[in-house]
Amino acid sequence: MTYEKNPATATRGPVQTSGVAMGPRGALTGEVETRPTRSTRLTLKQQALDLLERGWSIIPVRGKKAAIEWRQFQERRMSEAELIASFGAGGVTGMAVVLGKVSGDLYCRDFDFLEAYERWERSHPEFSRQLPTVRTRRGMHVYFKDRVGRKSRRYEDGELRGNGCYSVIPPSEHPEGCRYEWVHHLPPLGAVPEIDTELVDCNIEIGTML
């Protein structure tokens, strides 16, 4: 299995890579050849501004917790001035996108384990190649749009996140020391692909988050 690795958000264009192989337990193997782009030099604050320009509601985080009171940003996106001020707070280690309508009907399918993601990837190779995907400490986050407005759901292997949730995104630091990384990066300033949520409902549902 080969993934494309981009150490930044890639909103200013992708980096050139030679391919990254995923080894046992999700470890990266093989060499990565990168050509520096402006995105690799952007500060966290600058990358957050790029995503705000994309139409996403972005908040700062400390570890996996919001660094500010974030509930209002389920309904509106910050202004540039608000975002700059919020990322100037002490202890900020990364950023998160507030999901749902405020970010253009953005959803995240959280696969807690790499094996669960690979099972879905084999079932839907055409979507797994085009949907923005993030490697987490243990698994994968897959981002897509769905205008139906479905509720978030819990699964045995993770969850579907939408309205009322946020998701930590690259280049944030994980509390246990690693970084969130794009393995299929965002399209340059274009729309995240829209698919039916049922296409990621491939595993056993165990409840509904209210």
pLDDT tens, residue by residue, 126-180: 888 889 999 999 999 999 998 877 778 898 899 999 999 999 999 999 988 889 9
Cβ distance 60 to 85 under 8 Å? no
The answer to whether the beta carbons of residues 188 and 125 sit under 8 Å apart is no
**Is residue 56 pLDDT above 50, yes or no?**
yes
What pLDDT is stored for residue 203 in this prediction?
52
User: 29 pLDDT exceeds 60?
Assistant: no
pLDDT at 107 over 70: yes
Residue 74, classed as helix, strand or coil, is helix
- Answer whether residue 16 shows pLDDT above 80: no
Q: Which of 123, 131, 138, 115 is nearest to 202 (CA)?
A: 123
DSSP 7-46: SS--TT-PPP---EEE-GGG-EES-------GGGG--HHH
Whole-prediction pTM value?
A: 0.76
Q: Which of 3, 2, 1, 10 has the alpha carbon at shortest distance from 185? A: 10
Which residue from 190, 182, 193 is spatially nearest to 10, judged by alpha carbons? 182
Mean pLDDT of 180-208: 73
Enumerate the domain spans of the chain.
Answer: 41-208
pLDDT in tens, 73-84: 999 999 999 999
| Cα 54 from chain centroid (whole Å) | 14
Mean pLDDT, the chain, integer: 79
pLDDT at 6 over 70: no
Q: What is the pLDDT of residue 79?
A: 97
CATH 3.30.2250: does it fit domain 41-208? Answer: yes
Of the ranges 34-38, 47-51, 61-65, 131-135, which one carries the lowest mean pLDDT score?
Answer: 34-38
When pLDDT is averaged across residues 190-207 and rounded to a whole number, the result is 67
Burial 68-97 (b: 16+ CB within 10 A, else e): bebeebbeebbeeeebeebbeeeebbbbbb
DSSP bridge pairs for 207: 154
Per mean pLDDT, which of 23-32, 169-178, 196-205 is the most reliable?
169-178
Residue 3: pLDDT above 80? no
